[in-house]
């Protein structure tokens, strides 16, 4: 079914291959689009159910790079299967993407992340209790044993931080913890995450990164610090509101980063 989806997108866009795939999280938007394809039009593609996730594939051109922007993702807390979680990373690989970027809204866990707008992920802690590669050993054998010790692309991290500095956008590199959700974290859980070395926490992204790495792409992740989990009460509406305020910073820095990485990608 994913093969059919890839063929449909290539034919609909008139593009043989893309360069970059970007998955956008809660409330995040990026740039002007040349074409929009609703997920419901793509054969076999799941539909998002979370507010802020529109379910649209947007085609962008950033400099000379063809970019597929997936506005809407899938979460384990929705009851999604591993196949649904893998769908976008696998599709991205099949349409030719060499770099897979996941963005997400996160809660601050460490004090240093609470004072940042953006966190470019350098490592993660998967506490979801599920793995999107489960069951694939029957088909792929030992290929499923993906090395995760240096999964996040170092050149992307360094270039992104340079662009943040040039644009006066507060940013750090840090560790992303992924939890199942859908409830937000208790104070004890936040303390535990901090003790484990996490800077921010999300209910997504890490499963997509694991799948994208398995499918052979360079991977990167950027988190928008949407709420201070340390002190404040959290609602999804408040997350969307705060992310919207930081969208322009994320979009500008991400575009500049990709332009600088053109020859690398």
Instruction: Say if residue 26 carries a ligand binding annotation.
Output: yes
Q: Residue 184's Cα: distance from chain center in Å?
A: 19
Token pair belonging to 88: 């976008």
Q: Report the C-alpha gap between 85 and 254 in whole angstroms.
A: 24
Instruction: Say if residue 81 carries a ligand binding annotation.
Output: no
Instruction: Give the bridge partners for 104, in sequence order.
Output: 223
C-beta of residue 30 within 8 angstroms of C-beta of residue 251: yes
Q: For residue 215, which of 125, 127, 132, 106 has the smallest C-alpha distance?
A: 132
Instruction: Say if residue 75 carries a ligand binding annotation.
Output: yes
Cα-based torsion angle of the residue sequence 204, 210, 213, 214 in order, rounded to the nearest 10 degrees: -130
Match 């384990």 to its residue by tokens. Answer: 76
Q: Report the C-alpha gap between 20 and 69 in whole angstroms.
A: 8
What are the Cα distances from residue 212, in Å, to 27, 100, 205, 249? 22, 7, 10, 25
Instruction: Say if residue 74 carries a ligand binding annotation.
Output: yes
Q: Residue 168's Cα: distance from chain center in Å?
A: 23
Instruction: Say if residue 116 carries a ligand binding annotation.
Output: no
Instruction: Say if residue 93 carries a ligand binding annotation.
Output: no
* 258 Rama class: left (phi>0) / alpha (psi -120 to 50) / beta: alpha
Instruction: Say if residue 124 carries a ligand binding annotation.
Output: no
> φ, ψ for residue 200 (rounded to 5)?
-140, 165
Q: How many CA atoms lie within 13 A of 252 on its CB side?
A: 13
Q: For residue 13, which of 73, 57, 63, 75 has the smallest C-alpha distance?
A: 57
Cite the annotated binding site for a purine D-ribonucleoside by residue number.
Answer: 185, 227
Cite the annotated binding site for phosphate by residue number.
Answer: 26, 53, 73-75, 105, 204
Cite the annotated binding site by residue number.
Answer: 26, 53, 73-75, 105, 185, 204, 227
């Amino acid at each position: 079914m994913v093969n059919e989806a890839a063929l449909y997108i290539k034919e609909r866009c008139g593009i043989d291959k893309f360069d970059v795939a970007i998955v956008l999280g809660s409330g995040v938007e990026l740039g002007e689009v040349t074409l929009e394809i609703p997920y419901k039009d793509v054969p076999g593609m799941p539909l998002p159910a979370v507010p802020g996730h529109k379910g649209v594939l947007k085609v962008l051109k950033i400099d000379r790079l063809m970019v597929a922007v997936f506005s809407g993702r899938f979460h384990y807390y929705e009851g999604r299967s591993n196949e649904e979680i893998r769908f976008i990373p696998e599709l991205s690989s099949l349409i030719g993407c060499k770099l897979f970027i996941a963005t997400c809204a996160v809660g601050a866990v460490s004090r240093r992340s609470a004072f940042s707008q953006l966190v470019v992920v350098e490592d993660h802690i998967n506490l979801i209790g599920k793995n999107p590669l489960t069951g694939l050993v029957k088909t792929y054998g030992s290929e499923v044993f993906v090395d995760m010790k240096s999964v996040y692309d170092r050149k992307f991290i360094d270039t992104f931080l340079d662009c943040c500095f040039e644009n006066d956008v507060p940013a750090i590199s840090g560790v992303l913890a992924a939890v199942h959700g859908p409830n937000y974290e208790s104070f004890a859980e936040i303390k535990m995450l901090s003790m484990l070395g996490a800077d921010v926490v999300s209910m997504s992204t890490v499963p997509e990164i694991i799948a994208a790495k398995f499918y052979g792409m360079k991977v990167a992740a950027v988190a928008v610090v949407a709420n201070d989990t340390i002190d404040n009460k959290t609602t999804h509406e408040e997350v969307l509101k705060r992310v919207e305020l930081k969208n322009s910073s994320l979009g500008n820095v991400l575009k500049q980063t990709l332009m600088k990485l053109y020859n690398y990608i």
